[in-house]
Structure formats: C-alpha cells, structure tokens
Chains A and B, each alone.
Chain A
C-alpha cells in the first residue's frame, strides 16, 4: 500500500529552478513566435536571446545574494544544489553566452542563423549546462549533460558544410561514448554505495574506508574517461581539432569555454572527495592525465598550419592546465580555476571572434583551410588595428603580463606551490614557455612577413559589423585592463568557493 507523499511546496524551494527555467521558457517563446510569423530576421532572435539571458543573469545575481546571506540551498527533493560553485559557474555560462550570441550578426549571411531553431536550441543548451552544474545528483547531471550535448551537436551540424556534418557526427559519436562511460561509472558508484548523490557517495565510501578500492578505481576511470571526452583531456581529445575546424569560429570559441566549465564543475564535485581520500592511486591517475594533456597538446599545436586548429590544441592544453587546479584541490586552486576561466573566456572570445570576422563565405581556391597562417601574413601592413588586437589576444594566451590570462596562470601556479606541488608548477610554467612558440608564430606571420594576399586588408574584417566589433572591443578591454579587476574578482570568487566548502 503506497502512502501518499506529503510535501509542502515551501520545502521544495522551487525558486532554485528559476535560473534554468528562464532560458527554457525563452526558447519556447522563440518557437512560438516562429509559429505565428515565420521568416523573421535573425536580429530579432539574437536580441530576444540576449534579453532572456540578461534576465537569467539578473536572477543569478539574486541567487548569489541569497547564497551570500543563507549559504548553500537545496531544493526540489534535495536534487538541486545551489552552492557557490553552481552560482559562479552559471555566471560564467550565462555571461559567456551573452557575449557569444551577438556573433550571429555577421556581415555575410550564414544560413544557420536564419532559423529560429538555432536560437531555441542555443537556449536549451544553456539550460542543460545550468542543470549540470547546479546539482550533485549523478542522474540530473546526466540529464543536463545530454540536453546540452544533443543541442550542441545540432548547432554544429547546422553550419551546413561538408566538414561540419563530419564534425557533428564525430562529436556525436564521441559524446555518445562519453555518455555511456558516465552512466557506467555512476552505476558502479551506485552499486558500491546505494546512492547517486555525490556527497552521500563520499560519506559511504569514507565510512567503509574505501574497502572496495578496486571498484572505486574502475568507477573513477569510467567517469574520468567521460569527462575526458567532454573536457578533451588527452588521450580523449582526438575529436577536438576536427570539430573546431568543422564548426563556425564563433561556435568553436563557445565550445572551448562553456561546455568545459560545466564539466569542470562536475569533475570538481566528484574529485574533491576522491583526491582528499588519501588513496594515492587516484591522485596519480589524475596527475598523469594533467601532465599529458598540457604537454602533448602543446607539442601538437606546434605543428599546425591552420590557426583554428592551433587554437583548438591550445584550448586542450589550457584545459589540462586548469585540470591541475582540480588535482591540487585547495580553496586557492579552485578559486584559481574560476579566475583562470573567466579571463580565458575573454581572451578566447576575442581570438575566435577575430577569426570569425575574417571568415569568407566560400573557401577561395588557393586556400587550404579557412584560417591558414598564410592568410594572416603581413597583416600589420594591410590591417594594423586588427593585427594589433589579434596579437594582444595571442600574447594574453601565452600568459604575458599584464594581459588577462597571466593573472590566472600566476594564481594557479601559486596555488600549486602553496600546496607543495613544486614539480607540477615547474611543468606548468615550462609548458607555458612551449606554448609561447605557437602563439608567437601567428604574431611572426602577422608582423614580420610580407603580405601574400593582394587584398587591401578588407579580408580581415570582411564579416565585421558593429555588434561584432563591439564584442571584440569588450574582449580586448577585458584582456588589457584585467589587472584592475583581479582584486575584486578574486575576493568574490574566493568567498563563494570557500563558503561552499571547496
């Protein structure tokens, strides 16, 4: 005999769902508008999405202030978990999305942006990521992950080039594999502990002192593999360059930031207790992955002939770099992760947008790929401003002070030193030195070679419109003047991370 469930509405804390529901409602709204009057201009959808995301951002600020007052909140049968990590990462997700969506307003018409579905899927994807970070329930993480990923596969395929279908299918296959791994890993943990909540898994495991260490390791390996695919950790990274190459530069830049921060949060939640469990093996596995990802991706990036592929490998390397923060697992390193990722999103947003505005509609016959290094040769002569801005982003990616990413790097390396990972710190800085070479290569092409194209420099901003230039301007200002904001950011982030117990 089933007894009726008695739950009061207040105890459900439905307010915790609001930030996720806003984009979902917004997406439905866009679809409804299309139902009544189709063939609208894309600017309508872009602005609507921007507004919806803006509302979402405000609601996040609201929950941030609630967290500031009352601490962590659970909601909806304790499935939702709104802690500092969830709020910070949602800020990054929504903020980055707001900066990326205007990139659809290009000068040339790319047909994917003329469909309202594109924007609806985009918003669904954001909701998916938000669910992923705002819970410690493995099932809800899985649901969020799949919602977001399926939407993303479609967005890539909509670019409608041969390579983008290939990219979408490749990403889809790898993503399906990752999903399989994730569910298998969760299953093992469920079998071991009888729970799908990460904090309860941690409690049960530490209560029986990791008796079934063999199974734990198998579970960890499966979960790590699934995150490996999402975060493009070596050796699960093989899809990344191809997918980046096949999708539009705007979307590639987006993929290098938002899905990864979501995956980082989940990885942080899971590995936080595993790293501190005292089982050396877990640490060793993660250590090896981190070092491999940083180093090998750097070496591959050295030999690329296409800027976008180079940036793809560089973003793999950056992911490895940030993964080190999870390995270190202190408050300082976790704060460094957020600081790094915020600064990285500005810089990467800028560099991918620079590629995006130079994108031709069709590939000219003499060019192998959209953004080969040769295309940028002698850019300082024909388009000095664009070349200087691009160089700025490259220097920031290389970690040259005082530009944005340097501060993230410095804080992260410092956190490695503070926790006694001196060798790791050295590996990290030496990798930055290697990475310097391939970022420099683009600068060398732009500033020190003679122009190859006869074009008068128009090509580098063929796609530029006022909104795109604004976005690049925001990214450039964020990169140059980051040092003024570091203190506030750091205080804000550290408070949130510390108060959520990480």
Chain B
C-alpha cells in the first residue's frame, strides 16, 4: 500500500467526495470529518515512512497516460513537498471539523474534498502536464467556494480570482510545451517529466524567455506585486474556510512551483532575475505592509500581512542558497499555519458580530480572554517573535539573502518591523481599552468546535518554533541536492559564483541550521 500511497492520498478524497453525494445532509459533517481524518492519517503515515536522509524523490509512481506525447502520470515527494502535502490534509481536516453553520453544507464539504484532491495532486505531481492539470483544477472548487458562500461582491471576486490565475497559467502552459519541445530536440523524445527536464541544460537566452513564461503563472498565484490585486478581493469576499485554505495552501502552490520548476530548470535565468525579483519582493513586503496599516477591516489586515510575508518567502527562494531556500520552504509551512490560524480567528469574531471593522470592537480582551490569548499568540508569531514558528523561517530566509545583498536584506528586515507596527496597532484597537459597544459586552468566548482548529495550530506554532529540527532537517537534505544541481547546471560565471558550491559549503550550511535551533 505504501507503494501507492501518493495516489491514494490524491484520489481518496475525490472518491469520497463522489460518494458524499449519497450521504444525507444531516450526517454530512461527520462524513467529511471522518474522510478528512483518514486522509490526514494517511499523510502522517507518509511522513513516518519517509526516509529523511534521502534527498531524491520517494514513493514514486508512474503510469503511462499519453506516451506518444511524453505525458505520464508521475508522482513522488521529496523533503520540499512532503510537509506541504501533510499541511494541506491537516488544514482540510481542521477546516471541515470547525465549519460553522452554513447553508448547503453538503455541497461545501464535497467541494472541500475535491479541493483536497487537487492540492495533494499539485504538490506531488512530477510531470508538468499532471501538475498543470491539478493546478488548474484547483481553481474550480475555490471559484465555487468564494462564489457561492462569499460576501456581497463574491461573484466579482471569484471570477477575478479565476480569470487572473487562468490567464497566467496558460502562459505557463506555453512555457511547458516549449520545454517539452526542447527536450524533444535534444533527445528525440517527448517528455514532460520534471526529473527528465532537470537533466537538460538550456542556453541562457532560452532560459530567460522560459523563466518569464513560468514566472507569469507562478507570480500571479503567489501573488507577487504587481499581480496581487485579485487577492484582497478574494480574501475579502471568501467565507472563512475559503480564506483559510487559500492563504494556507493554495498560495503556496506558486512559491513551491518556483522551487520545483524555475530554480532547477533555469539556474542562469534565476541568477539573472535575482535582483529584479528581490526588488519586487521587497516592494511587496513594504508596500503591502503599509497598505495593511491603512485598513479598517481586520480581515484585510490579515490578508495584506499574508501577502507581505509571501514576499519574504520569495526573497528566501531567490537567495539561491541552502539557507534561503530551506528557510523559505519552512516559512511556507509557518505562514500556512499562522495566517491560516489568523483567518480562522477573524472568522470566529465575524460569526459573532457579522462585521469585520476594527472600529466596531475594542476591549475584547475582557470579554473573550481565551480568544484574545490565541489571537495574541498568532499575532506574535506573524510578526516573527523568536520561539514562534515564523521566526525560524524568516530568519533563515533573510540570512540566506544576506549573503547575496546586504542592503536589500536590511530593507526587508525593516519591513518586518512595519509588520509589527500594524499588527500591534490592530491588536490594540480590537482587544485593549474599555468595551465601548453594547453588543460586545456579552460575546461568548471561543467554543469547543473552534478550539478544535485553533489549539492544534497554536501547539504547532510553538512546537516548531522551539524545535524545528524534524521538519528543517528533512527539508535541508532535499534543498541541498537542488542547490548542487543548480550549481552544476549553471553556465555563466555570475551564476556559478552566486549559487554556492554545496560540497564546499555543506559544513557552513549545517552550522547555520543549528544556529536557528
């Protein structure tokens, strides 16, 4: 069964969703929780069976799909994708378990299970077309979640989300077809397998164009400045569960794809575009942090802060060394946990008051002490307090980029301070002071159902903040092989010097990881 565990992880929720049509709607919630728990247990099993000393792909499966055109169903995980797969099934589980009373709960749960299929698929696909299939397919459930359960502007927001991403990924598709064509020219065979593509060394001019084509698809998904405009709408209108999954998992598809495709396929182009992208990332960090400060709506604050931290992930990725990439992958998980939790928390207060304006609140710490504690913890994690999960990732990402450029890293570092300002300001407005509004005086504190989601997230936040090694070590092993591959493939002098030679620096990298502990 372990041989096919990835396929089971991908298609089990889809099958369960189909059977879910038959389940009576009163029992649907239990059904959803049961299925998602099995899925999560399977993903945990995957983690335990995973050999963290091996850097390559594990649990690979291969089935021919269109062999004449080189398309095969290939899946596998390595240290880079493993934890995101686990995180995705974890969020699906707690997301379904903590669902509040909503209309059409049956359809919602079926949609979430389909979404889980696409997420597991994206992060384990090792064939570009299979990757593309799941990548595009993930848009449909999200479109439906935002469009059917969202706020007043939901249709505009959902269509914008869909079309923006769809357009970007079609350009990416052209890039993929180009890659396959290059592979065909080089070897006389069509292939869309990523591991085959890794062996291909492309001339720099082609790399640049292909990098841009892939960048269009990934950057819109992340979303990077200036393609981020769909995200505030999507978050603003989406129901709580939609925002949580979107922020925690779906956005990671973009950053993950950078590491899976752009870096190893186009090392020279990655170096060439390192500074432009870093500057975009820093604009993204600073600008969205400032925008977040200007928001009146707490959900928008969380949304913009989420974009801001995605900037740090990009920065870490394009540090192109082991620390930076390891840090950015760890930060993906951290960001998933923390911003997912923040969106949950916003959902909690929205369920009680049906407003998200901060001016409507004040002094909530007296009324809802448990809520205020968890919110405070997550907020501290979000601004990157040491001993919380985000700190590890942010520190490593910035450390990685510090080796490439001191000034830019310094700028990014100040932006994190701005992050602290707006988060603390928002916290002050909502939780401290006296209770001004009559409605707020008797708000019930977080209930059991909500705690199901929040307690595990809080535990992870602290646990991985204090002791990140089990996760970090595994990631590190796979990232080292990616970086050494990049170094080997790099052709220009610039790229050779920017991407460290792993054999020499292996000891240094280990030390820095130890430091973070």
Q: Tell me the A residues contacting B by CB distance below 8 Å.
A: 380, 395, 398, 400-402, 406-407, 410-411, 413-414, 417-418, 422, 425-426, 429-430, 432-433, 436-437, 440, 443-444, 447-449, 483, 486-487, 490-491, 494
Contact = CB atoms under 8 A, between A and B. Distances in A.
Interface string B125-137: 0000100110011
Nearest to A437: B163
Given A402-B137, A486-B66, A447 B148 contact: yes
A115 B144 CA distance: 45
A29 to B, nearest CB: 42
A490 B143 CA distance: 32
A437 B159 contact: yes
B68 A417 contact: no
A426 B171 contact: yes
Nearest to A432: B170
Nearest to A449: B155
Contacts of A432: 170
Contacts of B107: 380
B180 A414 contact: yes
A491 B68 contact: yes
Contacts, number: 93
B140 interface: yes
A429 B171 contact: yes
Interface in B320-342: none
A328 B155 CA distance: 39
Q: Which of B136, B139, B166 has the most CB of A within 10 A?
A: B166
Given A436-B163, A491-B68, A448 B148 contact: yes
A433 B177 contact: no
B385 to A, nearest CB: 41
Contacts of B163: 433, 436-437, 440
Contacts of A433: 163, 166-167, 170
Given A395-B140, A400-B137, A432-B170, A440 B181 contact: no
B198 interface: no
B136 A413 contact: no
B159 to A, nearest CB: 6
A430 B133 contact: no
Interface in B121-166: 129, 132-133, 136-137, 139-140, 143-144, 147-148, 154-155, 158-159, 162-163, 166
Given A429-B170, A433-B166, A401 B132 contact: yes
Q: Of A426, A429, A449, A483, which is in contact with the most chain B CB atoms at under 10 Å from its CB? A: A429
Contact of A487 (B64, B140, B148, B173): B64
Contacts of B443: none
B65 A417 contact: no
A398 B165 CA distance: 14
Contacts of A436: 162-163, 166-167
A300 B163 CA distance: 18
17 contacts: A400-B137, A401-B132, A401-B137, A410-B173, A414-B69, A414-B177, A425-B177, A436-B163, A447-B144, A447-B148, A448-B148, A448-B155, A483-B66, A487-B66, A487-B69, A490-B66, A490-B69
A52 B162 CA distance: 46
B67 A440 contact: no
A380 B133 CA distance: 25
Contacts of B45: none
A425 B147 CA distance: 31
Contacts of B69: 411, 414, 486-487, 490
Contacts of B137: 400-402
Contact of A425 (B64, B129, B174): B174
Contact of A448 (B68, B140, B147, B166): B147
Contacts of B167: 430, 433, 436
Contacts of B64: 487
A417 B178 contact: yes
A117 to B, nearest CB: 45
B173 A402 contact: no
B174 A417 contact: yes
Contacts of A401: 129, 132-133, 136-137
Nearest to A483: B65
B468 to A, nearest CB: 36
A413 B147 contact: no
B174 A413 contact: yes
A426 B174 contact: yes
A269 to B, nearest CB: 25
Nearest to A388: B21
Contacts of A413: 173-174, 177
Contacts of A402: 133, 137
A229 to B, nearest CB: 31
A17 to B, nearest CB: 34
Contacts of A406: 133
A408 to B, nearest CB: 12
A452 to B, nearest CB: 15
A380 B184 CA distance: 45
A410 B176 CA distance: 10
A494 B69 CA distance: 11
Interface in B89-124: 107
A173 B28 CA distance: 59
A334 to B, nearest CB: 15
Nearest to B150: A448
Interface in B165-219: 166-167, 170-171, 173-174, 177-178, 180-181, 184
B247 to A, nearest CB: 22
Given A400-B140, A483-B65, 13 more contacts: A400-B136, A401-B129, A414-B180, A417-B177, A422-B174, A422-B178, A426-B171, A436-B162, A444-B158, A449-B155, A486-B65, A487-B68, A490-B68
B218 to A, nearest CB: 16
A494 B68 contact: yes
Contact of B173 (A429, A448, A491): A429
B166 A414 contact: no
- Nearest first, the 5 A-B pairs at minimum CB distance are A433-B167, A429-B170, A401-B133, A448-B147, A414-B177
Nearest to B168: A433
Contacts of A490: 66, 68-69
Nearest to A494: B68
Given A436-B163, A437-B163, A448-B154, A430 B170 contact: yes
A429 B68 contact: no
Interface string B43-70: 0000000000000000000001111110
A440 B66 contact: no
Contacts of A447: 144, 147-148
A307 to B, nearest CB: 17
